[in-house]
Amino acid sequence: MSTHQDRNTGEAVLRGMRCKCPSCGTGTAFDGYLSVRQSCDTCGEELHHHRADDAPPYFTIFIVGHVVVALAMWVEMAYVPPMWLHMAVWLPLTLIMSLALLRPIKGAMVGLQWALRMDGFATAGKAPSFGPTRANQR
């Protein structure tokens, strides 16, 4: 039997995608473009425990790559435009999409980690930590 209150994973991920605190949904989760706040300015939930690491860039590259390559191949097959037109369209689109998706994806990762009580988001031994423990570091 669980001794801690369950957290709605879907709601936490959506709040994170909106760059809001996964706990309350009203406070901001970021200080800058990708810097996660130490704690929520509204509810005080500590957010500095997150370990998003390379997941947000990976998912961003995965999504943008699939969209841009599929569109570029379709345009090439349908219209056969010159190479300079491909460069003028796909390079800026790739950059804009990457910058637009990176922050919401990182927010979603922080929300997911909060909802699953991963690492520091676990409270006083109520859920296992998925990172290295002190016993493993000896």
Give the per-residue pLDDT at 119. 78
Residue 11's φ and ψ, nearest 5 degrees, are -65, -40
Q: What is the DSSP string of 105-126?
A: HHHHHHHHHHHTT-GGGS-TTS
Instruction: Report yes or no on whether pTM surpasses 0.85.
Output: no
Give the per-residue pLDDT at 120. 81
Give the per-residue pLDDT at 1. 42
Q: What are the 10-residue block averages of pLDDT along the chain, 138 residues in total? A: 74 97 95 95 92 95 98 97 97 98 97 91 52 48
